[in-house]
């Protein structure tokens, strides 16, 4: 069994990163889906082997941020990105198609600042919402992978 903390769109909210730091230490994977990738510098330095950071449309390139990642967890393939390049504010179709093309069962994305979970054509599409200041309901996602079973929860940051 593996666990994952997924957040997105922190947009400079260091307070959120500090608050979640104990979770980062105890989980197997830490994923930041962009727009605030520089917020993750200390986390990446402390946990480079388990931290994955995407570049969002508001990020400048840094050495540990990429446009998208693929990761296999307990045999379940994940594809994750910020989402802006796939037009996620209007449709999730292009994101789903990219996940299928890559053989991924889970696609993680941000950009919209709205938490959302749905399944389409066998792909779990998950947005953890916005963990920063630009939302009325800040949140992150917690994912458990046990064999081929993926369980996810969107957790409010109150």
Q: Residue 141's domain spans which residues?
A: 2-156
pLDDT at 63: 62
- pTM above 0.85? yes
66 pLDDT band, cuts 50/70/90, is confident
Q: In the structure, what pLDDT confidence band is assigned to residue 64 with cuts at 50, 70 and 90?
A: low
- Cα-based distances in Å from 121 to 70, 101, 107, 134: 19, 12, 12, 31
Number of domains in the chain: 1
* Structure-token pair, residue 121: 């054509």
Question: Mean per-residue pLDDT for 147-152?
Answer: 97
CATH code at 105?
A: 3.60.21.10
Q: How confident is the model at residue 62 (pLDDT cuts 50, 70, 90)?
A: low
């Amino acid at each position: 069994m593996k666990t994952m903390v997924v957040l997105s769109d922190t947009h400079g909210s260091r307070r959120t990163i500090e608050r979640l730091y104990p979770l980062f230490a105890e989980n197997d994977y830490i994923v930041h889906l962009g727009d605030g990738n520089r917020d993750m510098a200390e986390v990446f330095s402390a946990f480079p082997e388990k931290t994955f950071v995407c570049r969002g449309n508001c990020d400048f390139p840094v050495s540990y941020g990429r446009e998208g990642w693929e990761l296999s967890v307990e045999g379940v393939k994940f594809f994750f990105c910020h989402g802006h390049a796939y037009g996620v504010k209007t449709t999730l179709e292009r994101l789903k198609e990219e996940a299928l093309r890559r053989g991924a069962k889970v696609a993680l994305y941000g950009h919209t600042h709205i938490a959302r979970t749905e399944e389409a054509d066998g792909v779990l599409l998950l947005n953890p919402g916005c963990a920063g200041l630009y939302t009325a309901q800040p949140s992150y996602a917690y994912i458990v992978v046990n064999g081929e079973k993926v369980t996810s929860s969107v957790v409010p940051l109150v």
